[in-house]
Amino acid sequence: MIRCMDPAVFRKIPAFNQLGTPALNALLEISHLHELKGGEQLLHRGDLMRAFYIIQSGGVRLMNYGADGQAFALKLYGEGDIFGLLTVSSPYPHPNTIEAVKDSVIISTDGQQLRKLILRFPELGLLIVDLLAVHIHEGHQRVQHMATRRVDRRIAHCLMKLSDKFGQQEASHISLDVPLSQRDLAEFANTTVETVNRTLTVWEKEGVLACSHKHIDILDYDYLKTLVEDTVPA
């Protein structure tokens, strides 16, 4: 389902807070809200991507398929995340399927129409440059982590990031409110399913996590944090 935008929607997104009212109103005219049910696909692999997207609520995952036909997630986007900014340059075939992980509301903004608006509102151009710079820094940081961090620290870091995006605070733990297989976590941490399985098994025995089918509860967030910060003895 697609419906029109309310101006308050963009004001709730930190990156857009500093836009002037004329630029914001022009942006609203080329944007829409998409309401997706969990499991519903936003784009299929190979579809031409013409817009960039902002997660207002819920989340999506980029899906790929192994040689055995089994689906696994390459990346998860949660509330406030932005993806597809390269459509401001030109449309392109998206290499993955994009699927809602639960009921979600997503903002889409047409890239080529935004390109025209930038000529009228240079502040929009600066905004896109800043957002792309954030993506580049995050990419460099991810490569550095993969090259220099021990695998258990990479897995802990992934769980913390997922907690930030999808964590639900319960009485005694943080529940990751998103379907998550060991294969997904292995892809995120750039390791093998076997390594993820061994690591999660150890952490379950130590009371750090509780795992069930495609679900993880974090029982000791502080342990993961100190591990990521390299303060837990090897």
pLDDT digits (tens, 9 = 90+) for 138-197: 877 777 776 667 899 999 999 999 999 899 988 889 999 888 889 889 988 888 999 999
Give ∠ CA 209-214-220 in degrees, rounded to 5.
15
C-alpha 148/C-alpha 111 separation (Å) is 36
Least confident window among 124-128, 178-182, 206-210, 218-222:
178-182
State residue 19's pLDDT score: 87
pTM, two decimal places: 0.81
Per-residue pLDDT reduced to its tens digit, 103-114? 999 999 999 999
pLDDT in tens, 50-105: 999 999 999 999 988 766 767 777 889 998 899 999 999 999 999 889 999 999 99
| Residue scoring higher pLDDT (18 or 221) | 221
Q: Residue 150's pLDDT is what?
A: 87
pLDDT of residue 36: 94
**142-170 burial: b if 16+ Cβ within 10 Å, else e:** eeebeeebebbbbbbbbbbebbebbbeee
Cβ atoms of residues 159 and 224 within 8 Å: yes
pLDDT of residue 179: 87
Q: How does pLDDT run across 11-55, given as a tens digit for each residue?
A: 778 788 888 889 988 998 999 989 999 989 999 999 999 999 999
Cβ proximity of 16 and 79 under 8 Å? no
Q: What is the mean pLDDT of the chain?
A: 87
Question: Cα angle vertex 192, ends 191, 196, to 5°?
Answer: 90
Q: Which residues contact 188 (CB under 8 A, 6 or more apart)?
A: 73, 75, 76, 158
- pLDDT value for 47: 94
Q: What is the pLDDT of residue 4?
A: 58
Q: What is the pLDDT of residue 106?
A: 93
Would strands 174-176 and 215-218 be described as parallel, antiparallel, or unpaired?
antiparallel
Instruction: Say what the pLDDT of residue 65 is.
Output: 74
pLDDT at 5 over 80: no
Q: What is the pLDDT of residue 201?
A: 95
